[in-house]
Structure 1
Amino acid sequence: MVTSLFLPKTIILLCVMGHVHMGDIDPFADSIPFAIEWSGPATSAENQLSEDTVILPMITKDQQRYECHYVANQLSTGVSSKAGDYSGPSAKEILEAFATTTACSYRVESFWTYELCHFKRFRQFHEERNPKSDNEESIVHPDYELGNYDENEQSEVVQHGEFFMENVKHPYLAFTYADGTLCDLTNQPRKTTVQYICYEQGRGDLYQIKETSTCEYTATVLVGELCNHPKYKPIREKSKIISCHSLDGAPEKPQMVLDIDNILSQKPQKISPPKGSSVVTITKAEQEAKRTGIGKREDNLFLQRFLSGEHCLQGAAGWWSYELCYGKTAKQFHVEAGKRVTNILLGKWDLDAHLTWISKHPSKNMNKHNTRRYISQFYSEGDFCDEIKAKRTVEVKLKCTQMGGSSHAVAIYLVEPSTCQYILTVESPILCDLVDQADDKGLVS
């Protein structure tokens, strides 16, 4: 019988914990790092312990004596599929097949966009309209190559347990993308290590990008297909075992533990509802909806009202506030004493103008090889801007994203990358189905 280390009121467990090096325990992990095994009287074989074994004599409040021991350098064993009998394609072959259907992956941030074209190149860029030009095709692209893939100079690096996601170790296969844009600070070309990890729901998502040192980067990509190779499946930790043996006729398990087990095993007393009433079973999703007042029905209603233009989204940053009425207008305004005192039209929806813009900016197209989780729409003919002698325009991005565990949250923010040229981003898990259903022009029927 194995008992969790975290049983309440079990003094013996606290004593053991006092001898464990607490620096080896991740306080944020969801797994149980230790478990106690009650093994009865020790056999002669079990009395022959290794030099690394720590022995802890214990006496319970009922004066029952036990001897507990654990191996000081005992390592957790990962729970993962065995790769010994695997005869399928190699991890690299799996990734190469994945790259034929998902040519490039994207990550969009407030200013930068990252584009990873698998086994080709990795770049960082920002689109900014040139305010000195009236030609719509004249666009400045601050563009940095973060690395290029070269098969002849490639060395595969496989490391286990180096990357943690959701408190689970993920083995990864890493490739080096070198010879990027020259870095002014180091006078060396930029380079990136691209790590591919198994994640069942992964569709080539660029999960994380870090600058590990000046102009050197690490990018982590989630690929569901890689989970077909057992060597790259997530490694989940087993609990370290602490064995306790009874002494001097004590029972196999202390009486105090038996008492706790008895309490935990008791079924809650069934309470009959008052006559004429009924019992309603509430699911976990319904409990969340009851707590937040938001459920699937409310999400769908919000989406319907938003897409019809009936419900407008608003955000704010400092002095300015902004508003998107989908399929109608995008505005910027200032509020004083509860009233709008300044109104600026950033752009209004026009299908023909959007299609013209999309045709001139093919990178904004959605296609079957594109795994990015957002769509772009162009709102034009805003208020006249004196600085650029042209009307304001705004690119509206509807982005599917996770919001820190909340499935109902909606975020909206506005940036002005160049004078009177704006990007308005709306992101939420609610938009995921909408993004998936959009056509290659970013339109939703």
Structure 2
Amino acid sequence: MERALTVLIRLELIAVLVVVLLEITYSDVLNSDSLFELHWPGPGIQKFADNSEYVIMTTPANEKYQCILPDEDLQRHQNDVNYGGPSAASLMQKVFSKEICTIRIETYWNFELCHGKHVRQYHEEKEAGKEIKLLEFYLGKSMKSPEGKEFEIQTVESFHGTYENFKVPTITIDGKEVPYYEVLMDSGTPCDLRGNIPRLTRVRYICETMGRNEMFTIKETSTCEYEAVILTPNLCSHPLYKMRVTPINSINCHAMNGSPTRPIGYEQLYRDTSSRTQFSSSKVRTTVTTTTTTTPQEKSTAAAAKQRLPRPILVDKQILQDFLNGDYCLHGGTGWWRYEFCYGKFAQQYHEDRNGRTVILLGSWKKEEHKAWWTKEKKAVGTKSVTHLYSNGDVCDITGKHRVAQVKLKCKEDMQPTAVTIYLAEPKDCEYVLGVDSPIICSLLDTADEYGILHPVATDDKSTPSTRKP
């Protein structure tokens, strides 16, 4: 009775599947996550023993097909896993023992991971005629094994059973669940935002056959805690650390009684889909890049002329005015902390989650304090940037003093008009450098006064209305 019921359920499933296949496009079939896939090998009725399973299907056009069901025992064993090789920890030891390092370069920060040794975040400031200034934080300097039952499988050398018996933690990458091997790197540079608790990085290794143990991503997941994802080929020989693909069972449907190899309706859908996915050669465009060579003298003359000429206004003048009034604030940053800069008001970092918004004031604008600092430091307006002082931020737990930030406003003409990149450095405890790169700064640099303070952009045509949409 139980076997008869199982066969009946499977027959109903196949019947539904065939009907559905006749009503959807061919591309939908190719992109589906179905456990079954139809094949049409042609005419020829198959003969089987009494215990074999097949079903006779008839389409709305009275076409008949003998569809052979997948072997039930074969499906049952597709979920089996039998492994007698080295543990994941043993496979990864080869990486840790070689002292391999990888570097990821981003807008401001560089990240260095020496496997099993340390994770470092650093920035090198290079100025002509001066020594290189190095700013660095260690995000972890001591390797440990993570705690938790889900990580016990990392040290198991052999096992037999099904995939469900051996759970491996996963992370979501491009919408797919990818298994990973994890180590903890702790004892990093103390974090003042968490009472001087050392920084910590969770380093997660995933299987990539073409990987070279390089950094795929690194981000701050909570205050002074980080996650780095590494592409390694060393795990790919271990069945639990490969990204598992759901097995697809083939169903062969043989044509009967002179029926076509594939149903007419299915063929029509196949042709319609194929015609819609053809590429048109008229839409293919070729981009040609040309390079002009100039002599050093021509470059010098062009640079001098460029400095004398006013910069073109890249951004709507109303936006520029709102920016100078502090009403148009710039936002940037990725990961746990994001940054907000309102010109002439404040610079701050913040984090938002379901529990609310956490804000740390890095500094607020005090014109007289900026002027005194500018004069003392003998600052000057550069051709591409200007730096302002924002003081009297939140009190720092380490120094007992107010936080202070130097905001470096930099012209970036090669970005979208209202695009912005914001990054933060901390050369000393609770003393920051907030970099703000944007085209908004470009035309404003020409208005800077003797203290580097920016002013509204002058215009000869006062009748020209703003193009900014309300």
Task: State the TM-score, normalizing by the size of structure 2.
Answer: 0.42
Identify the structure with the greater helix proportion. 2
Bigger CA radius of gyration: 2
TM-score between both structures, scaled by the size of structure 1: 0.43
